Amino acid sequence: MSAVDTDLGRYRLDRALGSGGMAIVYLAHDRELDRVVAVKRLADNLSHDRSFRDRFLREAQLAAPLSHPNVVRVYDFGHDGDGRPFIVMEYVEGGSLAEALARDGALSPARVVAVARDCCAGLACAHAAGLVHRDLKPQNLLLDLDGRVKIADFGIARTLDDGTSLTLTGSVLGTAGYLAPEQAGGAQVTAAADIYGLGVTLHQLATGTMPGPDASQPLPDPLRGAVAGCLDPDPARRPSAEALAAMLDEPATLVAPQAATAATLVAPPRVSPRHLTPARGVRNGRLAAVLLAVLIVAVTVILAATSGGPASPTPAARHHHARQRAVAAIPHGATPAAQARLLARWLRQHAG
């Protein structure tokens, strides 16, 4: 790290957060707005090249209008006393996904899907503005304290990874595993190159390894199909950021099988013809019970009619009533239907 002034007028540099082939990033304080920011300064080996200094600031000017929750904001840019350009950016406190991967290992599939959705949202915003990142990798995906992903360095790598920068910075060589085939071959780079880098990144986050024959484990759905689409050798066949997000939101997601299982558990069974017989038997039994109730009411009426009389019956009348009670015993059947048949027969015998 070069010895540079820590006072940039409005911005006071506190300490270095990291460095690479292209730039050094410092934790800094914005005196005017009294807030913590990150300041990126062009690396020593590029700081004396006028063309790189101009490109550094020009690309920062292009990235500055981007305003999206999943993109690191560019607040300001300028030159220090030595003419070295710097860019003032949003400070993201949670570190990078590269650090999380090194510390905790592979992420859960559900977490990788959440990362993918955040990246798709940020990329869609940048691509709509005509910006291509060209260096998408875990080191450039920062996490805020809520776990939301923010894409860093938009537009800066765009002009620093062309044919000249391969020899001057080594940055593209250092991240060759994330380069799309057309990018590595020197062809025209489009937004599809960012989708390829995202596919490599998602595979690495989910398995801890880069895609290829040495991959440690297969990807679960829906990551398998999404990553395969991202890594298509033909850039024209790769999904856009919006299409990729839609793939991750399709019904065949990580939670869809569980939902389908729950639906199966509560679904009514298919009815076959043989299942109708018990139901018919139940209906017949209910009908017999109703008939039995009607017959009992009829018996009650008959008994009341035959046993009625004066308040003080004569001995002959009492003898007749006793005889009626003796013959009024109602037979019992084993089932409601049998009971109804026996009761109907009893009525025919004793109703006269």
The residues carrying an active-site annotation are: 135
Closest CA relative to residue 22, chosen from 3, 45, 39, 5: 45
SS3 12: strand
User: For strand 74-79 and strand 11-19, is the pairing parallel, antiparallel, or unpaired?
Assistant: unpaired
Q: Other CB atoms closer than 10 Å to residue 289's CB: what's the count?
A: 14
In angstroms, the CA 138 to CA 98 distance is: 5
Task: Output the six-digit token pair for 334.
Answer: 């084993």
Question: Exposed, middle or buried: residue 240 (CB in 10 Å: 0-12, 13-18, 19+)?
Answer: middle
In angstroms, the CA 52 to CA 44 distance is: 11
95: left (phi over 0), alpha (psi -120 to 50) or beta: left
Q: Which residues of 339-351 are buried (b: 16+ CB within 10 A; e: fewer)?
A: bbbbbeebeeeee
- The contacts of residue 288 (CB under 8 Å, 6+ apart) are 335, 336, 337, 339, 340
